[in-house]
Amino acid sequence: MKIFPAIDIKDKKCVRLIKGDFENKTEYETSPIDQAGKYKDYGFKNLHIVDLDGALTGETVNLDIIKDIVGKFDLKVEVGGGIRNLDSNQKYIDAGAEKVILGSAAIKDKSFLEEACQKFLNKIALGLDAKDGYLSVSGWKESSNQLTLDYLKEVNDYGINRLIYTDINRDGMKQSPNFEETSKVADVSNCPVIISGGVSSMEDVKKAKGLKNIEGIIVGKAIYDGDIELDELAREINA
């Protein structure tokens, strides 16, 4: 199972949000590039990056930082945050991203998702952010009034290469992921699923390994707050 340490970038700093709330954020002293180097030093191979400035503006604000991280550390990076057109997709792929995560724009316009999957084969990950079974969009500020599983069934054959499922109620809360709901999504999904939101302990990571159609797990705030030690997490990479 792949382990994805997370880097959320805002104003060129590493930050973590609580339930996606930009007003409820913690800033960390380390820079995104230094943090990526730290993950590389511990032996991690994959990295989850969200450009929070991009999520707010719809532009590839931190493209240079992401390009530096890929170039310096040769990590397999999946990147998301406000990617609303094919041009932004192309920029991230040209920067060396292994996967580009489409979220709100793909949920609002399924044809955009389908076109991106066709143009960028095996490069598109779909980010499904849900609250009480319904998808949320626009930085989680609004509900799409669309059931997660209904939407997934509609786009399942588009050629999505990876699915990232986040339970918003758990994100940044360190209360363990919503394994039950994630398993329902994984049962329906034609592509492997990444667990996101709420990882609080090594027990969560180990539990994820036993689930069907799960490719990996994203670990964020628990690393920054010291609840999960990087050396212990790194031992799970090849365990």
Catalytic residue IDs: 8, 129
DSSP-based three-state secondary structure for 131: strand
> Do 138 and 130 form a contact (C-beta atoms < 8 A)?
no
Count how many Cα atoms sit within 13 Å of the Cα of residue 179 in the half-sphere of its side chain.
Answer: 14
Tokens of 91: 């920029």
What's the CA gap between 189 and 203, in Å, rounded? 25
Shortest CA distance to 1 belongs to which of 184, 207, 179, 178?
Answer: 207
As a dihedral over the C-alpha atoms of residue 96, residue 97, residue 99, residue 100, rounded to 10 degrees, the angle is: -120
